[in-house]
Amino acid sequence: MSDDSKAMSEWVTAVRRELGLEDAVDADALVDRILDLTADVAHGVSRPAAPVTAYLLGLAAGRAADLTVTTNDFAGVVSRLAEGWDADSERGVAADEQAERG
């Protein structure tokens, strides 16, 4: 394990403990997904948009019954949005209205 991976693992474990999320989320399953998402946003939209997007994803996931499934689903939706951001002519359409995006 690299120093960065070890530091990330220790940090995520500590934050989960401090926020009372030890049993709520599987950090190992979500860390890579969140890192992929933030990379997509940073490269497709803007670097400052990446942490804000991760926060918004957390808010949306927190409102759902199954955090892991919802996080993965929403991360996929947001990653696709970020990847097509420059070509996207209908920005800001809600995830539950994706059919309207064409």
pLDDT in tens, 22-71: 887 777 778 888 999 999 999 999 999 999 999 999 899 889 888 778 88
- Report the pLDDT value the prediction gives residue 98, as an integer from 0 to 100: 47
Give the integer Cα–Cα distance in Å for 77 and 41: 12
Give the integer Cα–Cα distance in Å for 12 and 93: 32
pLDDT at 102 over 60: no
Query: What value does the mean pLDDT of the chain take?
Result: 84
Look at 76 and 90; give whichever has higher pLDDT.
76
- Report the pLDDT value the prediction gives residue 90, as an integer from 0 to 100: 53
Closest CA to 101 of 79, 54, 89, 86: 89
Q: 58 is written with which tokens?
A: 């957390």
- Report the pLDDT value the prediction gives residue 97, as an integer from 0 to 100: 54
- Report the pLDDT value the prediction gives residue 66, as an integer from 0 to 100: 82
- Report the pLDDT value the prediction gives residue 93, as an integer from 0 to 100: 58
pTM to 2 decimal places:
0.75
- Report the pLDDT value the prediction gives residue 87, as an integer from 0 to 100: 61
Is the CB of residue 23 less than 8 Å from the CB of residue 67? no
